[in-house]
Homo-oligomer: A and B are copies of this chain.
Amino acid sequence: MTDLVTFGETMALFAARRTGPLRFARDFDLGLGGAESNVAIGVARLGAGAAWIGRVGADEFGDLIRATLAGEGVEVHAVTDHEAPTGLMIKGRRTADLVDVRYYRRDSAGSRLSPADLDPALLRSARVLHVSAITPALSPSARAAVRHAVSEARAAGVAVSLDVNYRAALWSPDDAGAWLREIAGEVDVLFATEAEGRLLADGDGPEELAKALAAFGPRHVLVKMGARGALELSDGRVLRAEPYRVTEVDPVGAGDAFAAGWLADWLAGAEPELRLRTACAAGAFAVTSQGDWESLPRRSDLALLGGAADGVSR
């Protein structure tokens, strides 16, 4: 059963093992990452059915992506592109505090996503469609795919979730803002950091910002505030959550984890307070280990955060 369907580009990921300028890194681990597939994994780990649609190259990296996502329990609907390779990410740390990510995704298989890659029956059978604003910045066909998917979803009564996920390397703030303002009216759930929220709206402080964002139409607005926690505006009601205190190992993926936690609990019909805490807990877990998605929690993990302060195992 597919509760959530998502699509986007997933890439092979070379992660440097040592901190410092990337050219001195020497050793790299091969893995994979992609904002939308991270969300799919996160949702699946929390017990909901998740499907991911994407394009991969006819290469080892494409095979790695298929096998890993399927192994994580995500339904994989991947088109194999025989003309273009799977995209790459290279991830290092310039300092212990500064992540350095580079992409080789121009004309990649994943950036060539198009409306034809999306199975309408699959889109219509889900309870929620999740997209990010990375996809529209990849190519015209990818942008059309987002537009098409959102239309299909709305026509079928499927809720639409959007995580802004602004990538400065792909488009300008102005272009991103314009597109976001255009799509925001068709979105039911909107995830954004404060800086991302300001791409499409103004507002003093996170609460005013959330209200300005909600004015575009989303019923649920989630503002992620890093070390200050998160704020949710749902049906006019404001909730705030403190962040969990964990030792950060790798900050990448926290936003995807937050979205996954929120969506999984929304799908499960959890109370808003619990739902927001689950989102924060998932975000906290995501930063506790290397890899963009490897440390996403299961239901049974969520209780561990409380015990973390003791630094004790069973």
Contact = CB atoms under 8 A, between A and B. Distances in A.
Interface of A: 14, 16, 18-30, 59-61, 63-64, 66-73, 85, 88, 92-102, 104, 106-107, 168-169, 226, 246-249, 251, 285, 288-291, 294-295, 301, 304, 307-314
A23 B23 CA distance: 17
Given A30-B28, A95-B288, A285-B95, A312 B23 contact: no
Given A28-B28, A67-B71, A61 B23 contact: yes
A64 B294 CA distance: 12
Interface-centre pick from A226, A247, A311 (highest chain B CB count, 10 A): A311
9 contacts: A20-B288, A20-B295, A23-B60, A59-B102, A67-B73, A93-B289, A95-B289, A97-B246, A99-B311
Nearest to A19: B289
Contact of A96 (B104, B168, B246, B301): B246
A112 to B, nearest CB: 13
Given A304-B94, A313-B98, A67 B23 contact: yes
B19 A290 contact: yes
Contacts of A94: 288-289, 301, 304, 313
Given A98-B304, A294-B24, A168 B310 contact: no
A221 B110 CA distance: 45
A25 B19 contact: no
A100 B311 CA distance: 10
A107 B108 CA distance: 12
B97 A288 contact: yes
Contacts of A92: 60
Contacts of A60: 21-23, 92, 100, 102
Q: Which 3 A-B pairs have the closest CB atoms?
A: A20-B289, A71-B71, A95-B288
Given A59-B102, A96-B249, 7 more contacts: A69-B71, A94-B288, A94-B313, A96-B288, A97-B247, A98-B304, A104-B104
B97 A308 contact: yes
A295 B61 CA distance: 15
A311 B20 contact: no
A73 B23 CA distance: 15
B313 A100 contact: yes
Contacts of A246: 95-97
Contacts of A95: 246-247, 249, 285, 288-289, 295, 304, 308
Contacts of A28: 14, 27-30
A314 B168 contact: yes
Contacts of A24: 289, 291, 294
A189 B63 CA distance: 32
B312 A251 contact: yes
Contacts of A288: 19-20, 94-97
B251 A311 contact: yes
A304 B102 CA distance: 16
